[in-house]
Amino acid sequence: MRIGLFGYGKMGRMIAEIAQSRGHKIVAKVDVDAADIDYASMDVAIDFSTPDSAFDNITGCFENGVPVICGTTGWLNQYNEAVERCNKNKSAFIYASNFSLGVNIFFELNAHLAKMMSKLEQYKVSMEEIHHTQKLDAPSGTAITLAEGIINNTAYTEWQLEKSGDKIIPITSKREGMVPGTHSICYESNVDSIEIKHTAHNREGFALGAVIAAEWIQGKTGVFSMKDVLNLS
Ligand SMILES: NC(=O)C1=CN([C@@H]2O[C@H](COP(=O)(O)OP(=O)(O)OC[C@H]3O[C@@H](n4cnc5c(N)ncnc54)[C@H](O)[C@@H]3O)[C@@H](O)[C@H]2O)C=CC1
Ligand SMILES: O=C(O)C1=N[C@H](C(=O)O)C[C@H](O)C1
């Protein structure tokens, strides 16, 4: 597979390493201020860039017939428009806030736990995410997906950073050192608490998941998710 990387930072470099180890070729590294982009050389684009640049990178690929795997977070106010552009150009697209197998299992666990806890009014939920100090967005994309998993299965209606309320899921975002990504969800009552937690030890799981998604999307048209790729639930 010939891969074009959009964003050649921490994730772009890790993806290049893993893709090459699986026999793929990196044909383009498109980073800030890229000049001519040779879309024709790419079977697929993998975007791990910035919240401000992801949408233009993605839609540029759709317009040039290149399917896209996107892991960039913090641009989702434009997600629906990206989906429209993908469909209009008969292209293919996967966005995931987190490509790791472990977190995708954690998403399922979170939804299942939320369903059970929805019947127990004595428990209040809260969430914490911890990432490295270079991270641009807060809360993390993964925390937002987890909050959506709770909202879809309980009476909670929204999430807020550092703000609680009857129907609000409070999210605390911490930025510390080099932390690759830690997410925990806590249900607290007067007598006990139940906590689930995912800790990434490095970035390999995210990068491998993105490459697997790129392999999976070959020859497909439409908008998919990691649930489709991993055949979960
Ligand atoms: N979905 C997932 O599994 C994961 C998502 N992420 C997300 O991926 C994104 C990138 O993360 P990192 O690699 O850690 O960040 P990074 O800051 O190390 O790399 C981002 C790169 O994008 C480049 N860039 C800036 N403008 C650009 C443009 N117009 N076109 C292309 N590239 C441009 C920057 O120069 C930089 O090299 C973030 O949004 C992060 O939240 C990170 C890890 C896992
Ligand atoms: O910026 C990061 O590093 C990460 N971003 C993603 C997110 O916002 O959830 C995924 C992972 O947690 C690492």
Reading the chain (233 residues) residue by residue, the pLDDT tens digits are 999 999 999 999 999 999 999 999 999 999 998 889 999 999 999 999 999 999 999 999 999 999 999 999 999 999 999 999 999 999 999 999 999 999 999 999 999 999 999 999 999 999 999 999 999 999 999 999 999 999 999 999 999 999 989 999 999 999 999 999 999 999 999 999 999 999 999 999 999 999 999 999 999 999 999 999 999 86
Q: Catalytic residue positions?
A: 131, 135
Does ligand 2 come within 6 angstroms of the Cβ of 71?
no
For residues 31 and 16, give the distance between their C-alpha atoms in angstroms, rounded to a whole number: 14
**Cα(130) to centroid of ligand 2, in Å?**
9
Q: Determine the atom of ligand 1 nearest the C-alpha atom of 210.
A: 3
Does ligand 2 come within 6 angstroms of the Cβ of 12?
no
H helices of 27-171, where?
A: 54-63, 79-88, 101-117, 141-151
Beta strand 68-70 with 92-95 is parallel
Beta strand 124-131 with 182-188 is antiparallel
Does ligand 2 come within 6 angstroms of the Cβ of 104?
no
Does ligand 2 come within 6 angstroms of the Cβ of 203?
no
For residues 217 and 24, give the distance between their C-alpha atoms in angstroms, rounded to a whole number: 14
pTM over 0.95: yes
Q: Determine the atom of ligand 2 nearest the C-alpha atom of 203.
A: 13
Find out whether 79 and 69 touch, Cβ atoms under 8 Å: no
**Cα(227) to centroid of ligand 1, in Å?**
22
Nearest CA to ligand 2 atom 10: 98
Q: What is the pLDDT of residue 233?
A: 65
